Every structure is written in structure tokens, then in C-alpha cells.
Structure 1
Amino acid sequence: MTAVVQPDPIELTPRESAQDARRSQILDAARTCFARSGFRGASMQEICLEAKMSPGGLYRYFPSKEAIIEAIAQDERCGAAELVETMRGTGPLLDRMIGCAMGYFAYMRDPGACELMAEISAESLRNSEIGKRFAKIDDSVRDVMREVLTEAIEKGEMPEIADLDATIGVLQAAVDGIALRQIHDADLSLDRVEPLLRRLVAGLLGMKA
């Protein structure tokens, strides 16, 4: 067998590292402002204050609020893709799906994460361009779920489902609903959610919990 030589990791220069750090600082500040004031209510000045940057410094990275929203959408797409890929693998299907959902719930417990999700959902209904940006995230998650469940059916891991797309929609609605519920119910811990979600998903997929 021929050995494969792995390329050396790419090292960021101090300038690149500083630029990445400043970009992340701006996006984190914007997320906080959007969660607090909404996409419409948050101004570039508010984001500057939250990021502790001058307007000139911020505009070097993002020329507009729309550019910041686009960057957040891209980051969310990358994060969603990384998380949803955990549904693939060789372990029991139910364990993989629950593991993915619990990872999402843990992420949504970060300060402002649920509030930002709620703002994204509301603004997506009012603003078609923002809706299109974040709809891509939802579509990518649905596509992976469809692939994973179709493969599981073909392998005999779960029974045939008459309406797979509707089932996926209900699963997504349940997971998103639980995530948002964390805003109002601080006692809804991950330990309490996990066994209940396992029973719910198993029931929808016709599997044993």
C-alpha cells in the first residue's frame, strides 16, 4: 500500500489571525445586537458600540448591515452542515439522530442563540432576501436527513415511511420548537429532554426507543 503524504497544515500569519479575530468579534457583537434589537432595530452604530470598534474599523470588514447578515448566514450554514453530518455513521440510527439534536440544543443554550433564531424566523417572513439566505440552511439540513433516512430504509434499519418529507418536516419542527422553548423554560435541561425526544423520534420513524 502506498503511503499518503499529508500536506503540512496552513499556518495563519499574525495579520491573518488578527483579521479573523476582529471579524469574529464583529459577528459576535452583531448576533448580540440582532438578538436584542432585531435585524431592523439594530443599527451599525449599535454594533460598533457592542464590538468596541470605530465605524471606520467596522466598515473595513463589512460595508453594510446586509453584509454582516450574509456573513452570519454563511457561518450558520457551515455550523449546521458540520452538526448535521453527525447523523451519518455506522452506529444505531436513533443514537445518531438524537446525538445530532442534543448537540443542536447545547449550541442553542449559548447566550442569545435562541433569541437570534427567533428573530431570524420572524424576519424571514417579512424580508424575502433574508428568508432566502436562511432557507438554504434549512434545505441543506433536510437534504441530509432525507439521505440518511432513505439509506436506513434501504438497509432495513427502519420501516418504509409513506410520506418521508412530511416526517422530516415534523422532526425539524419538534427540534426547533424544543430549542426555542429553552428561552422560557430554563428547567428544561438536556437530561430531561433526551429520553423524551428519543421516544418521540422513535415513534415517528416506527422504531424501538
Structure 2
Amino acid sequence: MEELSNSSNELAVADDTLETLSRAERRDQQIQRILDAAKACFVRSGFQGASMQQICAEVGMSPGALYRYFPSKEAIVEAICEADRQDDMTCFGALRDATSAVDGLIAGAMAHIAHTSMKGSAPLFAEMRSESMRNEAIRATVDGHKGEVAAMIEPLLAAAIERGEVNPPVELPILMAVLMSIGEGMAINDLPARGVPLDKLEIALRAMMEGMLRPAKNTPAE
């Protein structure tokens, strides 16, 4: 009887919590539930194979209710990318406080690698990137997300080149294209999940960055 009483009390507390949530908070919770369900469907069935009906079944919501939040799968992907963008802003925030371009890139990259591996985002990332090759709307969303990350990195490199801190062997636009492609590959492969220790990965990543950026032995004072 005591266990039953405790369970009833827990349910009552949960109900009270739901009642105290504002309309905006309840909406945010519903949106997160839909996004989590959509991610599971995309990974399991692929973007093409996952229908809005399957997402409805996964989240336990009627089609009419779901469409009030998202009119299409493309809209769901856009919301997923927006959430990822917020994470990227945090991960690459290390760029702002870096003492050098190489250190900033390493710190940002390692924070992003650790975060995406912890979330298990690699299968979803791979599926979205693959779909972007076929779907113009998804491509625009994915490319826009990449563009925002690049916009955080490029000024750091441009300033480092101007003050003679680094001397890359190719022009900045080409260098950026290579760096972004490497970043995509690392996100898709999720090396920590494959058993690559983060400390060893950082050593390899630093050697690669130094090879591409060719930092000066004595960095000029700012």
C-alpha cells in the first residue's frame, strides 16, 4: 500500500508540474518531443523512408496536431539544424578567446567533436547531408548552417594571416573549403565512438592544422 501511495503522489506532483508550465513552455516541450521522434525516424528509415505518419506514430500525436507545429519534414530538419546551430555557437565560442589561430581552431573542433559524439549525432548528420544532395530545401538549410560556422572561423584565420601568424599554402577561400570538409567528415565518422581517444585525436588534429596553416615560429605581437 505504501508503494502505491508513493506512486500516486509522484503522479500528482507530475500533474501539478504540467499545470504550472506556461503555454510557451508546453509548446517547447511538444516541439522537442516531435524533434526527438523525427530524429529517431530519420536514422531508422532514412529521410525519404520516414513519413510524417511515422513521425506521428513515434511521438504519439495525431497528424493534425503535428502539422500545427511543422508543416513538412523540411521544416522539421530546419528546426533540428537550428538546435545544432545553438550548440555550435557554444562549441566554437572558444575561437573568441584563443591566443592563436591554431589553438582556437583546435579548441573549437575538439569541443564540437566531444559534444556531437556524446549526443550520438553522427547517423543523423550523415542522413541529412546525404539528403541535401537530392533535396534543394534541405541543401539550403544544411549549407546555411555550415555558412554560419564558417563565418565564425574565417575572420580568425584572415586576421592571423594579416599579422603574419600563419602562412597557409593556398588562398583563404580554398583553405576554408578544405577545413569545412574535414569537419564534416569528422562529424560523420564520430571517431571517439570508434575507439579513438580524444587526447590522441587532438594530437593528430593539431599536427594537421599546423601543416595546413604553417604557423610562424615567433608569432608577431598584436
TM-score relative to the length of structure 2: 0.78
Please name the residue that 1:100 is paired with: 108
* Alpha-carbon shift at residue 185 of structure 1 (Å): 5.9
Report which of the two structures shows the higher radius of gyration computed on alpha carbons: 2
Distance 2:163 2:205 in 1: 24
Please name the residue that 1:71 is paired with: 79
- The answer to whether the aligner puts 1:133 opposite 2:141 as a matched pair is yes
Contact 2:41 2:55 in 1 (8 A): yes
> Equivalent of 1:25, from 27, 33, 37?
33
Please name the residue that 2:213 is paired with: 205
Please name the residue that 1:41 is paired with: 49
- The answer to whether the aligner puts 1:115 opposite 2:119 as a matched pair is no
**Structure 1: runs of 5+ lacking an equivalent:** 1-11
Contact 1:35 1:113 in 2 (8 A): no
Contact 2:95 2:108 in 1 (8 A): yes
Letter matched to residue 63 of structure 1: P
Letter matched to residue 211 of structure 2: G
* Alpha-carbon shift at residue 22 of structure 1 (Å): 1.3
Distance 1:208 1:185 in 2: 34
Please name the residue that 1:3 is paired with: none
Distance 2:201 2:142 in 1: 26
> Equivalent of 2:22, from 14, 17, 25?
14
* Alpha-carbon shift at residue 114 of structure 1 (Å): 0.6
Letter matched to residue 80 of structure 2: I
Contact 2:117 2:190 in 1 (8 A): yes
Give CA-to-partner distance per residue, 1:102-153, whole Å, 9 cap, x none: 1111222145411111111111111112111111111222222221101112
Distance 2:186 2:164 in 1: 29
Please name the residue that 1:146 is paired with: 154
Please name the residue that 2:68 is paired with: 60
* Alpha-carbon shift at residue 196 of structure 1 (Å): 0.5
Letter matched to residue 153 of structure 1: I
- The answer to whether the aligner puts 1:189 opposite 2:191 as a matched pair is no
* Superposed structure 1 runs of 4+ greater than 4 Å apart: none
- The answer to whether the aligner puts 1:89 opposite 2:108 as a matched pair is no
* Larger relative helix fraction: 2
Report SS of the residue matched to 1:156.
Answer: coil
The CA RMSD measured in Å over matched residues stands at: 2.5
* Alpha-carbon shift at residue 87 of structure 1 (Å): 1.5
Mark the CA change 1:150 to 1:186 in structure 2 (over 3 Å): closer, same or farther: same
Please name the residue that 2:13 is paired with: none
Distance 2:163 2:192 in 1: 40
Letter matched to residue 172 of structure 1: M
- The answer to whether the aligner puts 1:180 opposite 2:188 as a matched pair is yes
Distance 2:101 2:94 in 1: 11
**Structure 2: runs of 5+ lacking an equivalent:** 1-19, 218-222
Contact 1:35 1:112 in 2 (8 A): no
Report SS of the residue matched to 1:57.
Answer: helix
* Alpha-carbon shift at residue 26 of structure 1 (Å): 0.9
